[in-house]
Structure 1
C-alpha cells in the first residue's frame, strides 16, 4: 500500500536551508538572486512551503512593500532535519 506523502523538491530544500541562518525576513527576490535560481521556480516553491506551514509571509507596510519570508517553527524543524541529513551524508563519504 502506497503511503500518502510528499517529498520536498530540491528548490524547496535549498530555500529552507538558506533561511535557517537568517533571523530577519528575506524578500523572495533576494532568495532567487542569492541562490541563482529562476524567479518562477523560487516563487512556486515558496508558495508550496507557505501552504504547508513551513514558511510565514509578512508584507512590509512601507514602500517598496516587499513580501518577506520567514521560517515557521515547523519549517525550522524541517530545515534542522535537512542539515542533520547533510551531516550524515558527508560523514559517510
Structure 2
C-alpha cells in the first residue's frame, strides 16, 4: 500500500490541488480547503454540472493567495472531480 493510499479523500484532494495548481508545499490550509469545497459545491448546485479545470483554478486561486511558483508533475485533471465526488459522499464526516 502506497503512502497516497493511506490518505483520506480530503488529504488526497488537498495534495491533488497542490499539484494541479502549483500551490506552495504547505497549502491549501484546512480553512482554504473548506472554502474551496464549499465554492465547488455551490458551483455544482448553481450550474447543475461539474466545474471545469478553468473553473476549479479560479476557485482555488480565489482562496489560496501566494507569491512564487512551484512545479509538480503527474496529475490528471479528472482526479480532481473523482476526489470531489468521494468527498461529497463523505461530506458529513469531513465538516470541521
Q: Is the shorter-chain TM-score for this pair beyond 0.5, marking a shared fold?
A: no
Higher relative contact order (CA 8 A, sep 6+): 2
Relative to its length, the structure with more helix (as a share) is: 2
Q: Which has the higher strand share?
A: 1
TM-score, with length taken from structure 2? 0.38
TM-score (ref. length: structure 1):
0.39
